[in-house]
Chain A
């Protein structure tokens, strides 16, 4: 009897702690939602439970002639799509070579990837700025895409290579006996079998431009070319005096779809990371 009681108390405590975590997690999120529904533009007058609910901020984003929100959405979608496609292409090519072939510089390359993925891209910002300037790609979405695609290679090549390594070599050997060439093995064996991890790479590279604000804020100058993150940041960059409610509304419209996609995908990312991390 005593033991059973102890167990009950334990379970209750666990539930209580989880409930506490729920509150801590939900509070800022619900607060953001209620901000977006508050009338007015500032934090001063806003409250957690607004006296008057309003969708005026959402309406403003989509209908006001002053609002560039839809344009930013379009820019972000373009950058995201291009980044996803190009990243998968470059990464899969590199990962295939590193996973299946022996060549001069293979080991050095792997070391290089491991080191480079830890260097923050911020360290290279000045040089990237000057390089883009030299190539006349400053203030252009293609310049941004170029940097994203190049920058993701070390991390994702490592991730995909780890996955490729788990695909049995017997499969490509069998395909080679059947007369498949290098490209044949790559396109007909490796790519189809690696679909899960390639989907993860594609989706994460698709989502990155929606959430990254640092790089575009340095590369892009013209408000017509802004991505969502930069545009939203500008709503509040004058120290929260203005438009926080508008920022909240705009943010929710990005965060909600991303969060939903993410919740579905994180399992694959985790399995990819642990496979790539320990088996390399």
Chain B
């Protein structure tokens, strides 16, 4: 057993480890560990030095020579470099903490665990990381990196007229956001699209939730027979792939040849310009989304309704409660409490419901004086700006605004969810 060594200083070990991984461990006389750490850090530097160097340079300058430096590739390499550096920094910090802990042990004269013991300890402690790593790496490159890229684009001047490799991109700060609210055409488009997006989200989602709830209550009534059959049919719109139904509806609502005008409304002598008048397109979209969306809510509520104990209602009956009172004080709180996070997700989902807008009428009909279609919501406008007019910078700026709004939804979710209170342990 080693003797206590008050002259052994943790600060020195930490400083050495900060300088280069493993040095502090050597100072602690943990030679095998120290050499291992040195080899790891050295090989990391040898492998990645050039990549990181170019990446960081690219991230700052976005390239210096047109045709030779490709700003977009440099930007991506830069972002990858940042991710790698964050991870390396985390490992480096772990190494410094390790050096400190070992140094304190030596100071107090405690024995060190043997190599096998520390291996087993590392396996137990490191195990969750092994499980998480493959998925996390995928997540980083497929979800996080592209989002970071989008955020970066919002601060560049990347559009049809400034596109690599002919031109270099430049960082322009908040220029795009300023333009969005100051240049007339962008301003008017942005605010009208934003307004419709909000109306769309609130009206369509609320309609589908209300219809779903109403039907769930009706079918749950004890006097109704054939419940299974009724429920199966009511869930059908959810079961059929949405892209098929939306395209079918697009054909049915066709102004001239569609079944709605030709077969249903002609009975009343009506013909509505579903596809050419923005107002009627909006009405049609909300109707279709209600048709598509209510079954999920219906199924959800049906499940919750069946789980409410009968005792509650019997007690209410004894107190002579009316049906409305029972609904308001028993059913609704139960149902909403159990499903609130999922209902919020419905709002968030419709806020970004690109499929229906794009497939039904491609955001159309066109409207004078703005560069988005009459029924475009923010996300479908982003799609148009990206793939049709190549206004990547503005598309990214708007995406960022969408992202901020989405974060608002998320914060609400955090406060609702209880899962963080349940702590995992071995």
Contact = CB atoms under 8 A, between A and B. Distances in A.
Contact of A259 (B240, B247, B407): B240
B136 interface: yes
Interface residues of B, number: 99
Interface string B391-426: 010010001001100110110011001111011111
* Main secondary structure on A side of the interface with B: helix
Interface string B138-151: 11011111110110
Contacts of B221: 11, 14
Contacts of B423: 102
A263 B239 contact: yes
B212 to A, nearest CB: 11
Contacts of B118: none
A126 B386 contact: yes
A110 B132 CA distance: 12
A101 B291 contact: no
A124 interface: yes
Contacts of B232: 263
A114 B300 contact: no
A11 B134 contact: no
Nearest to B127: A182
A53 interface: no
A188 interface: no
A178 to B, nearest CB: 16
Contacts of B243: 211-213, 229, 233
Interface string A118-153: 111111111110110010000000000011011101
B150 A124 contact: yes
A131 B141 contact: yes
B240 A18 contact: no
A127 B150 contact: yes
Given A14-B218, A162-B419, A118 B348 contact: yes
A280 B138 CA distance: 23
Given A25-B236, A106-B424, A278 B341 contact: yes
A32 B237 CA distance: 13
B248 A118 contact: no
Interface string B189-222: 0000000000000000000000000010011010
A109 B337 CA distance: 25
B263 interface: yes
A218 B221 CA distance: 47
A266 interface: yes
A202 B144 CA distance: 24
A62 interface: no
B422 A280 contact: yes
Given A118-B406, A131-B76, A278-B338, A151 B143 contact: yes
Contact of A266 (B238, B242, B258, B386): B238
B6 interface: no
A69 interface: no
A279 interface: yes
A75 interface: no
Contacts of A124: 142-143, 146-147, 149-150
Contact of B223 (A7, A150, A262, A267): A7
Contacts of B424: 98-102, 106
Among A17, A90, A99, A107, which residue has the most Cβ atoms of chain B within 10 A?
Answer: A90
Contacts of B142: 124, 128, 146-147, 149-151
Residue picked from B153, B258, B383, B419, most chain A C-beta under 10 Å? B419
Nearest to A258: B241
Contacts of A248: 248
A64 interface: no
B155 interface: no
A93 B241 contact: no
Nearest to A259: B239
Contacts of A174: none
Interface stretch (A77-85, A191-199, A269-277): A269-277
Contacts of B417: 114, 277, 280
A61 to B, nearest CB: 15
Nearest to A18: B230
Given A100-B426, A101-B128, A134-B76, A266 B135 contact: no
Given A44-B257, A211-B241, 19 more contacts: A14-B223, A18-B234, A43-B254, A97-B128, A97-B132, A99-B424, A100-B425, A103-B132, A115-B406, A119-B143, A122-B383, A123-B150, A126-B153, A127-B149, A262-B239, A266-B239, A274-B303, A277-B342, A277-B417
23 contacts: A14-B223, A15-B224, A18-B218, A24-B291, A25-B237, A31-B248, A48-B263, A93-B134, A102-B425, A103-B125, A118-B406, A119-B143, A124-B142, A124-B149, A127-B149, A149-B142, A182-B124, A211-B241, A255-B240, A263-B232, A263-B239, A270-B300, A274-B339
9 nearest CB pairs, A to B: A280-B419, A150-B142, A124-B146, A127-B146, A211-B241, A127-B149, A101-B128, A259-B239, A262-B239
Interface of B: 72-73, 76, 124-125, 127-129, 131-132, 134-136, 138-139, 141-147, 149-150, 153, 215, 218-219, 221, 223-224, 230, 232-245, 247-252, 254, 257-259, 263, 291, 299-300, 303-304, 337-339, 341-342, 345, 348, 352, 354-355, 358-359, 379, 382-383, 386-387, 392, 395, 399, 402-403, 406-407, 409-410, 413-414, 417-420, 422-426
Interface of A: 7, 10-11, 14-15, 17-18, 21-22, 24-26, 28-29, 31-32, 35, 43-44, 48, 90-91, 93-94, 96-103, 106-107, 109-111, 114-116, 118-128, 130-131, 134, 146-147, 149-151, 153-154, 157, 161-162, 165, 182, 186, 207, 210-214, 218, 229, 232-233, 236, 240, 244, 247-248, 251, 254-255, 258-260, 262-263, 266-267, 270-271, 273-274, 277-280
